[in-house]
Amino acid sequence: MQELTEQTLAPGLTGRVELTVTDADTAQAVGSGDVPVLGTPRVLALAEAATVAATARHLPSGSTTVGTRVELEHRAATPVGRTVAAQARLTEVDRRRLVFEITVTDGGQTVAEGRVERALVDRHRFLERAGGAP
């Protein structure tokens, strides 16, 4: 799998996802606070979705990625009805370890940024070890 990783996953890959904030995305709804603005757990989920989008078409057959480490600075509140976009850029590939830089914006304003690390794994073996193999 290491050889395939070097051929298919290279720094520079990007992914982008958007979310229009609803009541279900607020800190109140997800249990991370008591205000009706985009909750940090939803920001993190959006950032991870962008990393998945960046590599989705480039993974070796039978492989997937799993999150292993996150550093996230949630800088600004986003009210219900606004649309935020998460952009992920793959900056480092170290064998199975993938490092992404993340930016989440609302219009021209950066509302969050950080770094997400993921590991490239064999999907079947991973599920077997987790006790959830089909």
pLDDT at 68: 98
**Comparing C-alpha atoms, which of 86, 87, 88 is closest to residue 19?**
86
Residue 1: which pLDDT band, with cuts at 50, 70 and 90?
very low
Mean pLDDT of 110-128: 96
Supply the pTM of this predicted model. Answer: 0.91
Are the C-beta atoms of 89 and 12 separated by less than 8 Å? yes
pLDDT at 8: 80
pLDDT at 131: 86
User: Between the CA of residue 49 and those of 53, 55, 75, 99, 114, what are the distances in Å?
Assistant: 6, 10, 19, 14, 14
Tokens of 75: 């800088």
Return the ∠ at Cα 10 (arms to 61 and 88), rounded to 5°. 95
Mean pLDDT of 33-45: 97
**Comparing C-alpha atoms, which of 6, 123, 1 is closest to residue 62?**
123
Condensed to tens digits (0 to 9), the pLDDT of residues 54-87 reads 999 999 999 999 999 999 999 999 999 999 999 9
Q: Helix, strand, coil % (nearest 5) of the chain?
A: 30, 45, 25
pLDDT at 99: 98
Query: Distance between CA atoms of 127 and 77, rounded to whole angstroms?
Result: 37
Mean pLDDT of 32-59: 97
**Comparing C-alpha atoms, which of 83, 81, 77, 73 is closest to residue 107?**
83
